[in-house]
Amino acid sequence: MSLEVKVPVVGESITEVTIAQWLKKDGDRVQMDEVIAELESDKATFELPAEAAGILRIVAQEGDTVNVGAVICRIEQDGAATAPSAPAATEAAPAQAAAPAQPAAQPTAATTTVAGETVEMKVPTVGESISEVTIASWLKKDGDFVQMDEVIAELESDKATFELPAEAAGTLQIVAQQGDTVEIGGLLCRITPGGAGTTVANAEANAKQEAATQQVAKAASAPSGAQTYASGTPSPAAGKILAERGINASDVQGSGRDGRITKEDAQNAQARPAAQPTTAPAAKQEATTDTPATTTGDRNQRREKMSSLRKTVARRLVTVKNETAMLTTFNEVDMKPIMDIRAKYKDKFKEVHEVGLGFMSFFTKACTVALKEWPAVNAQIDGNDMIFNDFCDISIAVSSPKGLVVPVIRNAEQLTLDGIEKEVVRLAKKARDGKLSIEEMTGGTFTITNGGVFGSMMSTPIINAPQSAILGMHNIVQRPVAINGQVEIRPMMYLALSYDHRIIDGRESVSFLVRVKELLEDPMRLLLGV
């Protein structure tokens, strides 16, 4: 009997998937619910579990794009295929019986016999679309004793960082090293119950190994024939002569007692270069002329493995550039009115609301008003459909120690200035600590990024897919501008709106940015709703 495995429904708006990779080969035996492949949509990566036990027969190959509901493989459920064969089970028993015999011959930390059963810790399922994690750091060392539920490692996915608690008390045996990328379900470490017995056994093994090492070193350093510690060692006078003439002591044959290099040996060693052919100086001169001058500074290189977060950000940015008709429109805003309000009310604002009054709350509030008036800027494309949102979930780009993250302020249109500021502070703190959850970073409808905190004067920010627009803030610069026919020095900021021209027309993008400018230059409009 053969079971057809089809592409499951993985999302309301997803009509096709790409086979990222097969985790099993054609003809392999698979178990029920075992992950056999990874499917990739335009939004996330999904695992494909086997729907039955049997022999896998692959239909669609890696890299193929398959519609939802199409057959991608078959699983043969014949009797021999669905159950492990008797020989295999018979072979497993002797292997297990022979395993304990190995520690007696060579006691090590990994094979020390301890009362209880060893617990294998594997990568847990940390999110529907996450297929692998990177070991950011081990908080415990190999061989350390750990307690039940004690955090022993930090795991990093392309979206967030997770803590790994110990599943039992005992001695930690690390399998995957720091920096390794491990698939969901992959083995991370083992915990051997009990600690004292293992520690003693390890100590005895280490002591024996150290004694053996010392014995070998002692045998290697013992005199052999005429060789002693003095062999090849120059006397103080000989050493000075060799150093002055740039001769290595290993190139000189010592004639002194026990092979020591004497002063005479050093003096005679200088005569050897003179015996070289007369063409040597000419060759040296020619090489000096033809060889380019070398630099004297350090030329070190350092290679680091890209984190999962960095790889995902890179992939998504390239996708946006290739798959959207992205344009950017610019404007400038006079920040004096907002700066005057902050200077006048910031102390009272903080006293009442227990949070500082920053620029981000004004920009977020202005954007929510403008998004209501120009809904296409708050929309997104899904296949051949356009999805318009009657709410404003504003994504705020935050630079964290591990890279750029974009947490979301939900229903920002309903929040007051202090409510927005509190959310910004909360999310920014969690981003710096690496504690943002996946839910806090997904589902935004519009993004604001502030490059001005790093000194950027102007930029063209890249859209945060699947959104259709992003607002870029920049630094505030004192510039001369014309105000009512007079030149005045004002704090000015350039604004940039990058948008997807497939869904947002030029009229809508420019009008949106002009509306944001009006609201920021006359903040009373935000309070009066005009």
Whether residue 152 lies inside any domain: the answer is yes
Residue 117 shares a structural domain with residue 67: no
Question: Is residue 493 in some structural domain?
Answer: yes
Cα-atom radius of gyration of the chain, to the nearest Å? 35
Q: What is the dihedral of CA 259, 261, 264, 270, to 10 degrees?
A: 120
Residue type, 468: S
When the pLDDT of each residue in the chain is averaged and rounded to a whole number, the result is 80
The reply to whether 501 belongs to the active site is yes
**Three-class DSSP category at 160:** coil
Residue 301 burial (C-beta neighbours within 10 Å; 0-12, 13-18, 19+): exposed
Q: Which residue has the tokens 């079971």?
A: 3
Axis-axis angle for helices 417-432, 359-373 (nearest 10): 110
Instruction: For 130-148, write each residue's pLDDT tens digit.
Output: 778 888 889 999 999 999 8
The answer to whether residues 181 and 133 belong to one domain is: yes
pLDDT band at residue 219 using 50, 70 and 90 as cut-offs = very low
Q: Where residue 499 falls among pLDDT bands split at 50, 70, 90?
A: very high
Q: What pLDDT, on the 0 to 100 scale, is given for residue 185? A: 87
The predicted pLDDT at position 90 comes to 40
Instruction: Report the pLDDT averaged over residues 211-239.
Output: 56
Task: Supply the pLDDT for residue 75.
Answer: 92
Indicate the SS3 state at residue 23: coil
Residue 284, pLDDT score: 53
Tokens of 146: 């750990």
157 and 74 inside one domain: no
Cβ pair 140, 152 in contact under 8 A: yes
Cis peptide before 292 (omega within 30 of 0): no
* Least confident interval from 58-67, 259-268, 404-413: 259-268
Q: What is the distance, to the nearest Å, from the Cα of residue 202 to the centroid of all Cα atoms in its chain?
A: 35
180: CB partners within 8 A, 6+ apart: 134, 135
CA 419 to chain centre: 32
Q: How confident is the model at residue 328 (pLDDT cuts 50, 70, 90)?
A: very high
390: how many CB neighbours lie within 10 A of its CB?
A: 9
Domain membership flag for residue 411? yes
Give the mean model confidence (pLDDT) for residues 159-179. Answer: 86
The overall pTM is greater than 0.85: no
Q: Higher pLDDT residue, 495 or 160?
A: 495
Cα–Cα distance for residue pair 339/358, rounded to 1 Å: 9
Partners of 86 in beta bridges: none
Residue linked to tokens 């001369």: 480
183 and 75 in a single domain? The answer is: no
333 in the same domain as 426: yes
In a domain? residue 337: yes
pLDDT exceeds 80 at position 295: no
Q: Provide the domain count of the chain.
A: 3
Three-state SS annotation for 254-308:
CCCHHHCECHHHHHHHCHHHHCCCCHHHHHHHHHHHHCCCCCCCCCCCCCCCCCH
Neighbours of 285 (CB within 10 A): 10
Q: Which of the listed residues 82, 100, 129 is the one where a domain comes to its end?
A: 82
Q: Is residue 71 part of a domain?
A: yes
Using the predicted structure, report yes or no on whether residue 394 has a pLDDT greater than 50.
Answer: yes
The reply to whether 64 belongs to the active site is no
Is there a single domain that holds both residue 198 and residue 116?
yes
The pLDDT value given to residue 263: 74
Q: pLDDT at position 462, please?
A: 93
Average pLDDT score over residue span 331-342: 95
252 secondary structure, DSSP code: S
Q: 241: how many CB neighbours lie within 10 A of its CB? A: 20
Rounded Cα–Cα distance for residues 472 and 331 (Å) = 11
Q: How high is the pLDDT of residue 418?
A: 94
For residue 516, what pLDDT is reported?
A: 97
Return the amino acid letter for 143. G
Look-up of token digits 């903040």 = 523
Round to whole Å and give the CA distance between 376 and 381: 10
Phi, psi of 105 (to 5 degrees): -80, -35
| pLDDT at residue 395, rounded to an integer | 95
The answer to whether residues 443 and 330 belong to one domain is yes
Mean pLDDT confidence for 242-250: 79
Confidence of residue 59 (pLDDT cuts 50, 70, 90): very high
> From CA 431, how far away is CA 398, in angstroms rounded?
7
Q: What is the DSSP string of 101-118?
A: HHHHHS--TTT---SS-P
The three-state secondary structure class of 157 is coil
Most confident segment among 38-47, 176-185, 285-294, 489-498:
489-498
pLDDT digits (tens, 9 = 90+) for 176-193: 998 888 888 889 999 998
At 347-390, the pLDDT tens digits run: 999 999 999 999 999 999 999 999 999 999 999 999 899 999 99
One domain for residues 43 and 149: no
pLDDT digits (tens, 9 = 90+) for 467-484: 999 999 999 999 999 999
Q: Which residues constitute the domain of residue 35?
A: 2-82
Here the CATH number for the domain that contains residue 180 is 2.40.50.100
Boundary residue ending a domain (214, 237, 271)? 214
Per the CB < 8 A criterion, the answer to whether 467 and 380 are in contact is yes
Indicate whether 346 and 469 sit together in one domain.
yes
For residue 502, pLDDT beyond 60: yes
- Do 501 and 344 meet the contact criterion of CB atoms below 8 Å apart? no
Decide if pLDDT at 92 tops 60: no
Judged against a pLDDT cut of 70, whether residue 21 lies above it is answered with: yes
pLDDT band at 1 (very low <50, low <70, confident <90, very high): confident
pLDDT at residue 240 tops 80: no
Is pLDDT larger for residue 156 or for residue 198? 156
The two structure tokens encoding residue 46: 């999904």
Q: Please say which residue of 183, 214, 245 terminates a domain.
A: 214
- Return the pLDDT at 288: 55
Mean pLDDT of all residues in 210-224? 48
Q: Which residue has the higher pLDDT, 163 or 415?
A: 415
pLDDT band at 11 (very low <50, low <70, confident <90, very high): low
* Candidate list 33, 340, 433, 501, residue with the active-site label: 501
Same domain, 45 and 116: no
- Compute the average pLDDT of residues 237-263: 76
DSSP, residue by residue, 352-370: HHSS---HHHHHHHHHHHH
Cα–Cα nearest to 146, from 79, 111, 184, 192: 192
